[in-house]
Amino acid sequence: MHHFFAEPSGVEDGRIRIEGPDAEHISRVLRIKPGEEILVSDGQGRDYLCQVEELAKGCVRVRILQERQESGELPARIWLFQGLPKSDKMDLIVQKAVELGAFCIVPTATRNAVVKLDPKKGEAKSRRWQAIAKSAAEQSKRSRIPMVLEPMPLGEAFDLVKEKNFHLCLIPYEEEQGMGSLKEAMRQLAPGGDVGVFIGPEGGFDREEIREAISQGIRPVSLGRRILRTETAGLAVLSLLMMKFEGVF
Ligand code: SAH
Ligand 1, pocket-test mutation among 227, 229, 231, 237, most atoms within 8 A of CB? 227
Report how far residue 59's alpha carbon sits from residue 78's, in angstroms, rounded to the nearest whole number.
34
Distance between Cα 174 and ligand 1 center (Å): 5
Given 3.30.1520.10, 2.40.240.20, 3.20.20.80, 3.40.50.300, which CATH number is that of 3-68?
A: 2.40.240.20
Ranges of H-type helices in 70-169: 89-99, 119-139, 154-163
Per-residue pLDDT reduced to its tens digit, 202-236: 999 999 999 999 999 999 999 999 999 999 999 99
Report how far residue 195's alpha carbon sits from residue 146's, in angstroms, rounded to the nearest whole number.
14
Q: Are 167 and 76 in contact (CB under 8 A)?
A: yes
Query: Domain 77-245, what fold?
Result: Alpha/beta knot (3.40.1280)
Q: Cβ contacts of residue 132 below 8 Å, gap of 6+? A: 91, 94, 95, 98, 148
pTM of the model: 0.94
Q: Is the CB of 222 under 6 A from ligand 1?
A: yes
Residues of the chain with CATH 2.40.240.20: 3-68
Which residue's alpha carbon is nearest to atom 4 within ligand 1?
A: 204
Residues of the chain with CATH 3.40.1280.10: 77-245
**pLDDT given at position 59:** 95
Q: Are 167 and 190 in contact (CB under 8 A)?
A: yes
**pLDDT of residue 188 exceeding 90:** yes
How many other C-beta atoms can be found within 10 angstroms of the C-beta atom of residue 141?
A: 14
Q: Is the CB of 182 under 6 A from ligand 1?
A: no
Beta bridge partners of 152: 108
Ligand 1, pocket-test mutation among 182, 228, 232, 238, most atoms within 8 A of CB? 228
Q: Band of the pLDDT at 116, cuts 50, 70, 90?
A: confident
